Amino acid sequence: MFGHITAQTTTTQPGGGIDIMSILLFVMLGIFIFMMFRRNKKTQQQQATLQSQFAPGVEVMTSFGLFGRIVDIDDEENKVTLELSPGNLATVHRQAVTKIIEPAAGVPAATEVPDDASSLTAAESGSTPAAAETPEETLKRLNDEGKKDN
């Protein structure tokens, strides 16, 4: 006879159902996409600047760590021929060359190395005081130094 009456309550969000978290999510996604495109554009500009400096005779490094000198550039097929060492050539894709190696400014001049051991003798290189000592003098000097330490 008596029925149960229940009230249903519904909650609605103000503003038609779009909350601040959804807006924040879309803004962050937009910033992420913008930064991604900006980075790609910057990388492409750096690569274009680098490739404009390519010429035969330039020392370069590839993305996989090979060092060499550019011998030939084939623009149609995007290939670069590198001389890794005298007589050893390697052909790589143009985009694999990632760095131009600048010659060091303060590199000392190469010292001349003789073919024989003549420069190792004391007579030609000038005698030093230690080389002019006799074995007895050397023993005396070492004994005197040992006494100073004690």
Domains delineated in the chain: 25-100 (2.30.30.30)
Q: What is the pLDDT at residue 4?
A: 67
User: Which of 101, 98, 100 is closest to 63 using CA atoms?
Assistant: 98
Nearest CA among 51, 103, 43, 59 for reference residue 75: 51
Residue position matching structure tokens 């000392």: 108
Neighbours of 62 (CB within 10 A): 19
pLDDT tens, residue order, the chain (150 aa): 566 666 555 555 555 567 899 999 999 999 999 999 999 999 888 888 888 878 888 899 888 888 999 999 888 898 999 998 888 999 999 888 888 888 766 556 666 766 776 666 655 445 555 567 888 888 888 888 877 665
Rounded distance between C-alpha atoms, residue 148 and residue 116, angstroms = 41
Residue labelled with tokens 């159902």: 17
- Percent of residues, the chain, with pLDDT higher than 90: 21
Closest to 93 measured CA to CA, from 69, 68, 71, 63: 63
